[in-house]
Amino acid sequence: KKEKQNMKEEEERRKKEEEEEKKEKIECKEKERSGKGEKEGRLRMKMKEERKRLKDKEKNRERKKENRNDKRRKAKQL
């Protein structure tokens, strides 16, 4: 019973994180569009770093997801 509740809470947390990431990506794109001259160059670099950070965040989420799935599989086997 507790496991189901924990899994539900985890799912909700993950959904919230995904929504936040979508918002961040949209904001990044909007920031990239605005910006001129020298400002634009710095902004581009900032956005590049931001995209890398988001990508790393996504990889970590996938890794955590796999770890959770592995734990579930092991629990079912026992």
Asked if residue 30 belongs to a domain, the reply is: no
In this prediction, residue 32 carries a pLDDT of 64
Report yes or no on 33 lying in a domain: no
- The structure's pTM equals 0.45
Q: Is 15 within a domain?
A: no
CA distances, 68 to each of 10, 54, 60, 72 (Å): 10, 21, 12, 6
Total count of domains within the chain: 1
**29 is a domain residue:** no
- Between 1 and 4, the higher pLDDT residue: 4
Backbone angles phi, psi at 70, to 5 degrees: -60, -45
Q: Do the domain assignments include residue 16?
A: no
In a domain, 65, yes or no: yes
Q: Decide if 63 is inside a domain.
A: yes
Range of the domain at 61: 45-78
Classify residue 72: in a domain, yes or no: yes
